[in-house]
Amino acid sequence: MAKRLLKHVEVAAAIQAAKVGIRERSEVTVDDIVAGLLAVATDKEDGTLSSRAAAWSHLA
């Protein structure tokens, strides 16, 4: 049923509009996310090795 609904132009447009609305409300940009990951990846004083490795993995 979901596949069939996604084929309808109105449903697809409503989903796209909802995604845009969520993105605008969150006010988080890709630059914000990258800056946060970079801060964790390079924090040798407070960050754990696993948190730094995970951050580098997401940045790669």
Structural domain harbouring 8: 2-59
pTM over 0.75: no
User: Within its chain, how far is the Cα of 39 from the centroid?
Assistant: 17
Instruction: Tell me 50's DSSP state.
Output: H
Residues 15-41: what's their mean pLDDT?
Answer: 88
pLDDT bucket at 5, cuts 50 / 70 / 90: low
pLDDT bucket at 40, cuts 50 / 70 / 90: very high
pLDDT at 26 over 80: no
Distance CA(26)–CA(31), nearest Å, equals: 14
Number of domains in the chain: 1
pLDDT digits (tens, 9 = 90+) for 10-24: 888 888 899 888 877
